[in-house]
Structure 1
Amino acid sequence: MSDAVDDPHPNPNRDGFDARTVALGDVQPGRSRHAGRRSAVAVVGDLAVAGTADGALVAFDRDTLVERWRTAPAGVDADAPPSVVSIATYQGGILAGERSARGGVRCLDPTDGTVRFRMETRDDVGGPQRETRFFLPFVVDIVGDGERAYVAARRYERDGDDRSFHSVVFALDAHGARAWTYETDASVIALDARDDRLGVAHNRCPGDDQHGLVVLDAESGRRRFDWDPGTEGQRRIGDVALVADGAVVASHGDKRGYRLTDGGGVRWRVDLATPTVVDDETLYAYPNHVHAADDGVVFVTGNTYPEDGRETDGRHPDEHTAVGVSPDGDRRWHADVGGFASELAAAGDRVVVPGAQHFRDRDADDHGLRVLDVADGPVGDRATDGIVTAVATADGDVAAIEEPVVYHDEGIERGAYRLHWVRVG
């Protein structure tokens, strides 16, 4: 059993929140470049539940961070270790998805961690082409709407310069049975459920399906409408957030944010990290995340890339930036988020952004999590020694997973594998 401790690593140069931490075990430190998600976290009732890089799930009491229960690791494979990469609540249980050779999904009882049912998404998307991490079946996202859970998984293949994907989205009823299944050759990246709709975002479309956004009927799985930024190349949509009368999307195609009507009409669009000339080089950054609330929208961008090649000494002025947009589509604030964000956690008008590697600058002083208000911008932040890779929020507080990192040009291991419980207030 693990005992919680007060955070021993305060950073006086950053605004802070009260926090406690608890160790999650050992994990190989991250490197300068991102290797993809390998941890997940959720708040389930009075528990903070961490999904770990070895495939285990560990539940801690929210108030004390004393360990309640722990599942066995999912197994050990030297070339392709399994990891829990997505967690959501479902019919009073915990639904956890893996990046693993089987692309496993487990439903756990929150009282003791026993398995209610399990399934393997490799039955839908196929087994890995190679036994290395990026080729493993990947349960990208899980969301719930109170009655059902919706699961998205994909598998990647490569043949020379040709990339292809096999993706599936399915709905689970109250008994764990599939209500419907949607398949595509696009790369599914994110889901959002609202009312009777399910938004499905595709970040790459190398095959027949050329729509970055598909909105499905949540009851039947029928396609209600689709939309695409209409740009050249495979890049399409980074994230989707449904609103009462439409959707908001972060476009990888043209690096803008869009507010869509129900049916796919464009109500407004806003520049986020569009191609910009910096020192005679044209640079851009992908908008990777979006959260929509009554008071507006928050978008978050990622790493700088040049239009020619992959390496650059320049920086796009809106890389690693959260952008607040009014309900009418006007940019009203922006804030640095420190590094690459693998996800967002949001509840109403509060958004939490985890800060991982900035692989070009590698500034450890930027590690941590940021809390934002949709209308007003930064609320405060929490510094960490390592990188923050997963976050969840409930009742105004935050659960976050920190992972250690070693930058190639420094050689120092920073941080540890641990869960933070942060009281935002």
Structure 2
Amino acid sequence: MTDFTNCRELGPLDAARSRHNWARSDVAAADDRVFAGTADGHIVSFDSALDRVQWDAGGDHRIVSMAATDECLVVGERGGDGTIRVFDTETGDQRWTYATTDDIGTATKDSLFFLPYVVDVAVTENRIVAAARRYERDGEKRVWSSVVLGFDHDGAVQWRYRAAASPIALDTDGDRVAVAYNRCPEPAQDGLVVLDCETGDAITTWDPELDAERRVGDVVFSGDDIAVACHGDKRGYLLDADGHERWSVDLAVKQSVGDETVYAYPNHVCVADGVVVFVTGNTFAESTRDPDARHPQEHTVFAVKDGETLWTHAIGGFARGVESVSERVVVPSAQNFRRRSAETHGVHVFDAEGGHDETTPLSGIPTALAVGDGLLAVVEEPVEYHDEEVTHGAYRLHSGTLE
């Protein structure tokens, strides 16, 4: 069962609206500490019960990616120079910083979508890895500049991997780094690139077999294999170490509902006890941004083992991530901009083999989630739907244990 009882206010924050926001907070957990990265740029270390602030490092830009070990905390920003910052977890001393704009360039427009964005970060025994991107428009052409960086723990860049594409997530098993690219305007760019963690050399690549700009939504290692949530064909894959397909499953593939052809992107994937778990998002349609129909597998969790679906579970709202620990899977569910009901707000816990265990409701929307060293931490943000005058929830940090 989930013991999810500790709560801490994080200050004022404009309420989210009916559609889900771009990331503006993040959270990490390690070494009996919970680290919150806030929309106003603060990085705060709390004890596990959230009773005491251990240190607070201020900043100017929203914190959108975090990774923690017992020794260091890595954070990535959206805005400004797209800075990566590394802290000592115990003292809060800043060890080093790096401006990703040195690699991807500066914003060409003062608009959120154009700001440099450190999409994801990770820590291994010898490396700190980060992926950053920047977007601009050249007439009618969309242009993405991105870099994956491998640092030693003292902040020296050991390698770079550049691409004219949009990275959305990365994972590492210590020896390899898998990078998911969800938008690839150039046909030659692959949706999945696997790099050597030590050298940055490309080991293997993979792409769905279709001609589309949308490619891969998320990636995770499963032993030697690699699980992929594919944006291109809305399916889930398990690949071997060489990028060859072991199995694939339909998730929220295109189908006709009434007069519309609808689909939903598989946005997240994790692995728990040998089971691959995928999570889908909002319904979209070929002909309109706001279809009347709903895809029957929108906002759904799928558990797959050996290519066979063990179970599915509808969570009702948009999930910003998924985490696993041992045989448990944790999925946060935020707003559903079509249903517009606080009933979709909550944190769901699943047994990888058996399915749904429990759901903890939240007043606001869970927008960031972390598990580590027995801790479970969630950032809640306030939300106000456009057709009602009610603010649900507040800007809060929750912590507890996953038993």
TM-score of the pair, normalised by structure 2: 0.96
Q: Report the counterpart of residue 283 of structure 2 in structure 1.
A: 304
Pick one of 346, 349, 366 that aligns with 2:324: 346
Pick one of 294, 300, 305 that aligns with 1:321: 300
Q: Distance in 1 between matches of 2:330 and 2:186?
A: 34
Q: Distance in 2 between matches of 1:18 and 1:265?
A: 41
Pick one of 53, 56, 63 that aligns with 2:39: 53
8 Å contact kept, 1:91–1:174: no
Q: Distance in 2 between matches of 1:299 and 1:306?
A: 21
Q: Report the counterpart of residue 260 of structure 2 in structure 1.
A: 281
Alignment of 1:191 with 2:177, yes or no, is: no
- Relative contact order higher in (CA < 8 Å, ≥ 6 apart): 2
Pick one of 209, 215, 218 that aligns with 1:230: 209
C-alpha distance after superposition, 1:86-113 (max 9, x if no partner): 1112571111100112101111122232
Closer/same/farther in 2, CA of residues 154 and 190 from structure 1, 3 Å limit: same
Q: Distance in 2 between matches of 1:186 and 1:180?
A: 18
Q: Report the counterpart of residue 69 of structure 1 in structure 2.
A: 55
Alignment of 1:263 with 2:260, yes or no, is: no
List runs of 5+ in structure 2 lacking aligned partners.
none
Q: Distance in 1 between matches of 2:28 and 2:224?
A: 28
Closer/same/farther in 2, CA of residues 422 and 105 from structure 1, 3 Å limit: same
Alpha-carbon offset, residue 195 of structure 1: 4.1
Alpha-carbon offset, residue 254 of structure 1: 0.4
Matching residue's letter, 1:315: R
Q: Report the counterpart of residue 376 of structure 1 in structure 2.
A: 354
SS at match of 1:405: coil
SS at match of 1:134: helix
Matching residue's letter, 1:289: H
SS at match of 2:343: helix
Question: How is 1:19-418 mapped onto 2 (pairs within 5 angstroms)?
Answer: 19-72=5-58, 74-75=59-60, 82-89=61-68, 92-207=71-186, 209-326=188-305, 328-418=306-396
8 Å contact kept, 1:91–1:148: no
8 Å contact kept, 1:164–1:207: no
8 Å contact kept, 1:90–1:146: no
8 Å contact kept, 1:106–1:117: yes
8 Å contact kept, 1:170–1:181: yes
Identity over the aligned pairs, expressed in percent?
46
Alpha-carbon offset, residue 17 of structure 1: 4.3
SS at match of 2:102: helix
Q: Distance in 2 between matches of 1:227 and 1:334?
A: 27
C-alpha distance after superposition, 1:53-72 (max 9, x if no partner): 00101111103532222122
Q: Distance in 2 between matches of 1:382 and 1:338?
A: 14
Closer/same/farther in 2, CA of residues 336 and 45 from structure 1, 3 Å limit: same
8 Å contact kept, 2:70–2:89: no
Closer/same/farther in 2, CA of residues 36 and 291 from structure 1, 3 Å limit: same
SS at match of 1:414: coil
Matching residue's letter, 1:205: C
8 Å contact kept, 1:17–1:382: no
Matching residue's letter, 2:199: S
Matching residue's letter, 1:201: A
Q: Distance in 1 between matches of 2:291 and 2:11?
A: 36
Alpha-carbon offset, residue 424 of structure 1: 3.0
Closer/same/farther in 2, CA of residues 18 and 282 from structure 1, 3 Å limit: same
C-alpha distance after superposition, 1:357-409 (max 9, x if no partner): 21122111110111122222212121111100000012444100000011111
Q: Distance in 2 between matches of 1:277 and 1:377?
A: 28
Alpha-carbon offset, residue 119 of structure 1: 1.1
Q: For structure 1, which segment, 288-297 or 220-229, has the greater mean C-alpha deviation from structure 2 after superposition?
A: 288-297
Alpha-carbon offset, residue 265 of structure 1: 1.0
Alpha-carbon offset, residue 196 of structure 1: 1.6
8 Å contact kept, 1:185–1:208: no
Q: Distance in 2 between matches of 1:168 and 1:94?
A: 21
SS at match of 1:220: coil
SS at match of 1:365: helix
8 Å contact kept, 1:90–1:149: no
Q: Distance in 1 between matches of 2:41 and 2:25?
A: 9
Matching residue's letter, 2:12: D
8 Å contact kept, 1:256–1:287: yes
Q: Distance in 2 between matches of 1:421 and 1:318?
A: 30
Alpha-carbon offset, residue 268 of structure 1: 0.5
Alpha-carbon offset, residue 160 of structure 1: 4.6
Count of residue correspondences: 403
8 Å contact kept, 1:238–1:288: yes
Q: Report the counterpart of residue 4 of structure 1 in structure 2.
A: none
8 Å contact kept, 2:30–2:70: no
C-alpha distance after superposition, 1:240-267 (max 9, x if no partner): 1112222110000000001111111111
